[in-house]
Amino acid sequence: MKIVVYCSSQEGLEEKYQQLARELGRWIGQHGHTLLYGGSNAGLMHLTASAVHEAGGHVTGVIPEMFRHRLDPVCDDAVHTANLGDRKQYMIEHGDAFVVLPGGIGTLDEWMSTLAVMTIGNDDPRPIIVANLDGMYDATLQQLVDMTHTPFARGKNLSRTLVATSTDTLLQILDQVTASAL
């Protein structure tokens, strides 16, 4: 299974976020899955990829031309794209499941773009698992719920977003998702 992870490339984040990235990566590697991620050698991106690599999993970095110099050396494969939009499109097209870790605007953009593609597809069964540590994404999740009560959202696949409030919950959801995919 190809698991796409959207997350921050910011350095120096609190240990709880770093630990989350490492434990997720270790889980992906130990279960024989492939990580698809932004390909950067920094922040939570690098920590997740390093843990996958160390646990024997396969790491595919999808790196836009503007960040080519930041390609993570732990990547087994690198997919070079022209820009961030192409990177996002590649990951959405090739992912079997999506995990959203703490991140900034880029992470939020990737999550919403993935959800938009699934909503339009309406029968897209792929899950999006959001690690909502410390309520980081509470407002965004509430906005999604609120939107389902308007005439503007097609809403059917908003339920594809599964929420984990701890590392243990995230890994339990991944266990369930990957078991049902087999």
Q: Which fold has domain 2-175?
A: Rossmann fold (3.40.50)
Tokens read off for 122: 């309406």
Positive or negative, the CA dihedral 93, 9, 111, 56 is positive
Rounded-to-integer distance, Cα 36 and Cα 71, Å: 13
For residue 182, is pLDDT > 80?
no
Give the Å distances, CA to CA, from 80 to 64, 70, 91.
6, 12, 12
How much of the chain exceeds pLDDT 90, in percent? 79
Confidence of residue 125 (pLDDT cuts 50, 70, 90): confident
Q: What's residue 155's pLDDT?
A: 58
Q: What's residue 162's pLDDT?
A: 92
- For residues 146-159, give the mean pLDDT: 72
User: Domain-by-domain residue ranges, the chain?
Assistant: 2-175
- The residue among 81, 74, 77, 5 whose CA lies nearest residue 44 is 5
pTM of the model: 0.94
User: Residues 6 or more apart from 117 whose CB is under 8 A from it?
Assistant: 92, 124
Task: Specify whether the CB–CB gap between 155 and 130 falls below 8 A.
Answer: no
Q: What's residue 172's pLDDT?
A: 95
Q: What's residue 178's pLDDT?
A: 87
71-98 as b/e: b if 16+ CB within 10 A? ebebbeeebbbeebeebbebbbeebbbb
* pLDDT tens-digit readout, 30-64: 999 999 999 999 999 999 999 999 999 999 999 99
Average pLDDT along the chain: 92
Rounded-to-integer distance, Cα 177 and Cα 179, Å: 6
Q: What's residue 166's pLDDT?
A: 94
For residue 154, is pLDDT > 70?
no
